Amino acid sequence: MSQDSDRIVEQLTTQLRTIQEQLSKLTRRFDDLEHNLGEVSRLPAKICQLEDDLMLLGDRYRYQDLQKYLVDKNWFEADKETIRLILAVTSKEIEELTPEDIQRFPCNDLMVIDRLWLKYSDGRFGFSPQLKAYQELGGNFDTTIEQNQQLIETWGEGLGWRKDNRWLPCSELDFSLNAPIGCHPSR
């Protein structure tokens, strides 16, 4: 009986060692998985950074001042920089700028400027919110070409550009996050 007991103890000891080795391997694998999970959880931030870098890749220096003003929440300077960029791309002075010039404005430049405004204003400012407000009032491509004055005035009031039946000069606009959605860029 003693030999049987010794053999059983030996078998159990061997099985216990095997289980301990497997447990040790599983623990290491779990630690590796935990590390990998940490890496995976950081991916969205890395993707956002890559998107930001790609957005500016076409002409990194062209948009860096706008991005800096927007990062700093300096909406007034960002607004001035936006019109400077538009004028540089169109090779026009502000007084010469026509709706046709805006219609021919390169989509890539428009998208970059819009995405920068959207990103740093948490979606409050940019061309997209302005377009959405215009469309919600019934505006479309035809009303833009026709320059429907009543629609444009109502739109301007909603964006905070117009008050008491007059267009506000830039100096009277709200350059804070309390400004109406879509208020900026406003020049």
Mean pLDDT of residues grouped by 10 in the chain (187 residues)?
Answer: 78 86 87 80 75 62 93 97 94 88 88 94 96 92 76 93 94 94 92
Contact 168, 161 (CB under 8 A): yes
How much is the pLDDT for 168? 95
Question: Which pLDDT score is estimated for 125?
Answer: 97
DSSP 6-54: HHHHHHHHHHHHHHHHHHHHHHHHHHHHHHHHHHHHTHHHHHHHHHHHH
Question: What is the value of pTM for the model shown?
Answer: 0.69
